[in-house]
Amino acid sequence: MTPMEIVQDHYIASRDGAVDRAFAAIDDATEWTETAGSAYAGTFIGRQAIIENVFARIGAEWDGFGLDDLDLIASGDRVVATGWYVGTFRGTGAAMRARFVHLWHVEGDRVARFEQVVDSATQNAAM
């Protein structure tokens, strides 16, 4: 698979709830960074840490969490995704629509690094 196909498959599988497929290219050496200042801020190494510190928390804390207007741009082993996070935070009932950029670095058939940039003020306001 190309880097673009690997990233596309992650988004499709995540949307469809296919966890094993969503994380097929994410291994124990993958470095995953969430924006400083956001509720999920930090750098997590490996599939299990990424699932526990990001995806499991989002699943537990948000209703209808998803991505709108996803656009992907690829150049070599790099893929950039832009779009909007949407969802309703369970603790407050507040809806969110926050702009994001995802920076993916794919090496061979695996995700080496991921970095998220998000409008954390909008995200945090819903929380």
Share above pLDDT 70 across residues of the chain, in percent, rounded to a whole number: 100
70, 11 in Cβ contact below 8 A? yes
How large is the average pLDDT for residues 84-104? 98
Amino acid sitting at position 39: A
User: pLDDT band at 106, cuts 50/70/90?
Assistant: very high
The pLDDT mean for the chain works out to: 97
Cα–Cα nearest to 101, from 84, 81, 122? 81
The answer to whether 34 touches 40, Cβ cutoff 8 Å, is yes
CA 75 to chain centroid, in Å, comes to 19
Give the CATH number, domain containing residue 58: 3.10.450.50
Mean pLDDT in residue range 102-123: 98
- For the chain, the domain total comes to 1
| Domain span holding position 98 | 3-126
Whether 97 contacts 17, CB under 8 Å: no
Tokens of 80: 């950039």
